[in-house]
């Protein structure tokens, strides 16, 4: 039996959380110059392997983070993907040493986490060919994480399954995927997340269903994933006038709905768009376009760039130039938001998932017309 969604007010998005799309036109040179600026600024801002914190991330400038989500690992990987000149091998070595001595978020940090822990650092080290890469340590962390009670991408086994595949550890990936598959509840068709002191059943890729299904690709046949994913997402979609969105989790009123990669249509479309009926993906895409760029900022997790990846996914699926046009319009707006934040704060925002380097990766994806989402689709 699929879960139901409380539908108190038919809210699909809140205009107060979005901005009017800039009228500036897309130009390849504009995107290339923005990428060059972001890369150059990031390489100039690194200090002893770390970047300053940013007020919009709720941290002080002096706090130093090593992890993939908010810290050095994400910056090193992003700069490497963009062809920067940073000595990533040396920098990731410093970050790993620091993490082991002083883990991000204190002594109770979860080292096996892909996005918040040591696993993400070791994946980056392996991908860039650093001498500090340690396959045995990485294999142990993946093994230790296979039954983590979050059952989601950020902290749990879906993230470390992707890490195992990125680093050619098939046995570790399969062992974790087997348990993840076994914990896919046959009655609700969902996983249950025990996280941050709460018990929830989330739909989006960061903390729930979409990320888990994505991690099972290759372990479970696509037709099986398609059947179960379609059943859940058709039943839980909030629809009006051809627009479609999803609440963050089961039991939440639609007044809590969001339009972000982490929660809502953007992440579901970009992660599972090829596994659900086309009308769901297209309806989600139209919703994202109608809502407009996110006011929270330009980044990947809950920003304009992350939302724009849904348009690139739809372009990949349909070959309809309209979606590439929309992706690039969001890219230009993201450039504007980066510029505005720099004026306000006086410097860049140095993280992969919330900051400028994620925007640069989105700009490159728009130049290449490629839908692969950073890290979860391509390391």
pLDDT tens, residue by residue, 227-236: 999 999 999 9
> Each residue of 309-340: b (16+ CB within 10 Å) or e?
bbbbbbbbbeeeeebbebbbbbbbbbbbbbee
Cα gap 108→66, rounded to integer Å: 15
Q: What is the CA radius of gyration of the chain?
A: 19
Tokens read off for 20: 């009017």
Q: What share of the chain is helix, strand, coil (3-state, %, to 5)?
A: 50, 5, 45
Place of tokens 């696509």: 222
Element (H, E) at 162: helix 157-166
Is the confidence at residue 1, as pLDDT, over 90?
A: no
pLDDT in tens, 281-291: 999 999 999 99
The pTM assigned to this predicted structure is: 0.96
Start-end of H helices in 46-156: 72-81, 88-101, 118-128, 135-144
The pLDDT tens digits for 289-338 are 999 999 999 999 999 999 999 999 999 999 999 999 999 999 999 999 99
Mean pLDDT of 36-47: 98
Contacts by 40-48 with C-beta closer than 8 Å and gap 24+? 41/347, 41/348, 41/356, 42/75, 42/78, 42/79, 42/84, 42/86, 42/348, 42/350, 42/356, 42/357, 43/79, 43/84, 43/85, 43/86, 45/347, 45/348, 45/350, 46/75, 46/86, 46/91, 48/94
């Amino acid at each position: 039996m699929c879960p139901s969604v409380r539908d108190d007010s038919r809210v699909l998005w809140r205009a107060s959380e979005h901005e009017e799309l800039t009228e500036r036109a897309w130009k390849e040179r504009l995107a290339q110059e923005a990428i060059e600026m972001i890369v150059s600024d990031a390489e100039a801002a690194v200090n002893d392997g770390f970047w300053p914190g940013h007020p919009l991330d709720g941290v002080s400038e002096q706090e130093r983070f090593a992890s993939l989500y908010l810290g050095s690992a994400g910056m090193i990987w992003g700069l490497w993907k963009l062809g920067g000149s940073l000595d990533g091998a040396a920098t990731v070595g410093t970050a790993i040493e620091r993490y082991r001595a002083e883990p991000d978020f204190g002594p109770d940090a979860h080292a096996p986490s892909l996005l918040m822990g040591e696993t993400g650092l070791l994946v980056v080290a392996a991908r860039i060919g650093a001498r500090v890469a340690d396959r045995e340590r990485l294999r142990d962390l993946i093994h230790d994480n296979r039954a983590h009670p979050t059952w989601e991408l950020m902290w749990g086994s879906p993230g470390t399954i992707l890490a195992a595949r990125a680093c050619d550890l098939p046995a570790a990936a399969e062992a974790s995927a087997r348990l993840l598959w076994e914990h896919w509840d046959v009655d609700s068709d969902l996983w249950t997340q025990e996280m941050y002191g709460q018990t929830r059943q989330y739909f989006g890729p960061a903390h729930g269903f979409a990320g888990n299904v994505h991690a099972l690709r290759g372990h479970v046949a696509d037709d099986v994933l398609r059947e179960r994913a379609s059943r859940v997402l058709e039943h839980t979609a909030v629809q009006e006038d051809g627009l479609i969105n999803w609440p963050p989790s089961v039991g939440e009123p639609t007044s809590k709905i969001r339009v972000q990669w982490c929660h809502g249509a953007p992440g579901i479309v970009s992660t599972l768009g090829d596994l659900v009926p086309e009308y769901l993906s297209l309806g989600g895409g139209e919703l994202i376009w109608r809502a407009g760029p996110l006011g929270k900022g330009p980044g990947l997790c809950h920003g304009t760039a992350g939302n724009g990846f849904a348009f690139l996914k739809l372009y990949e699926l349909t070959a309809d130039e309209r979606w590439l046009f929309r992706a690039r319009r969001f890219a230009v707006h993201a450039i504007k938001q980066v510029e505005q934040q720099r004026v306000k704060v006086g410097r860049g925002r140095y993280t992969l998932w919330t900051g400028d380097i994620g925007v640069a990766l989105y700009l490159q994806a728009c130049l290449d017309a490629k839908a692969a989402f950073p890290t979860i689709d391509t390391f």
